[in-house]
Amino acid sequence: MVEDPTQRKMMIVDTLKSKSVLKEKVFDNTAEAFILVKEILKNLSREVNINLSGIDPRIRMEYTDRSTFDAQLKVAGDMLLFSMHSNIFQFDREHPAWKTAYIQKNKFNAYSGIINIYNFLADSFKYSRLDDLGYLIARIFINHENQYFVEGKRQMGMLFTNYGNEEYSKEALQTIVYTAINYSLEFDLLVPPYDTIKIASVGQAESKIQHSKLITGKRLGFLFNSDDVLEDNSKHQ
């Protein structure tokens, strides 16, 4: 049986009216939140540097607005990269957020924009060490109703039960940004295992061993496990 093209056309129209409009609303909300994040970073950099007057200039904060979707903050030896994804996502079916009454009540509440916060070493950018690794500290989810929650490391995390009960605010974003910075400053660089760097080629030596052979990062990769698991694994290396 041939399907009615008119019905198919109306399905397209209905999808555009519902899901596509919803995603645009989510994008707009997330973009507005990211503008606030940039404002918070810029103001914090200025205020902190005033308090660091007369102290070693290398520890001063340096804020850079990289693009519509990216901003960075250099804090002493750390570089925090704040990145808004241009697309809208739905939580996968295994995600704990689906267990909240908020999403069970309306599946459209599961569509969110994402702002990621990464921690890199400032020297990775300064010396163009493209193989160096960064670390995902947290990601902020914002939906069409400006409801939000944070997924992240230890003190960065929020309970999923908060989702649907709290709209994001400038104060909430400030808390997230400040916590991310404090977490990064307390999160020290680990010495890499000896066996991973004991051999180097002539080419690597010519291009400086410390820049090419030694892949530097506070942790190995963008792992999103608990710190306890990572610490347990490091004991067995």
Structural domain count of the chain: 1
Kindly report, residue by residue over 165-186, the tens digit of the pLDDT: 889 999 999 999 999 998 888 8
Contacts of 71 (CB under 8 A, 6+ apart): 37, 38, 41, 63, 64, 65, 81, 82
Q: Is residue 195 part of a domain?
A: no
Q: Is residue 138 part of a domain?
A: yes
Assess whether pLDDT exceeds 60 at residue 3: yes
Question: What confidence category does residue 129 fall into, taking pLDDT thresholds of 50, 70 and 90?
Answer: confident
Contact assessment for residue 45 and residue 63, using Cβ atoms and an 8 Å cutoff = yes
Assess whether pLDDT exceeds 90 at residue 192: no
Domain limits at 69?
7-189
Kindly report, residue by residue over 197-233, the tens digit of the pLDDT: 566 666 656 665 455 445 555 553 333 333 433 333 3
Q: Is residue 200 part of a domain?
A: no
Kindly report, residue by residue over 34-93, the tens digit of the pLDDT: 999 999 999 999 999 999 888 888 888 999 999 999 999 999 989 999 999 999 999 888
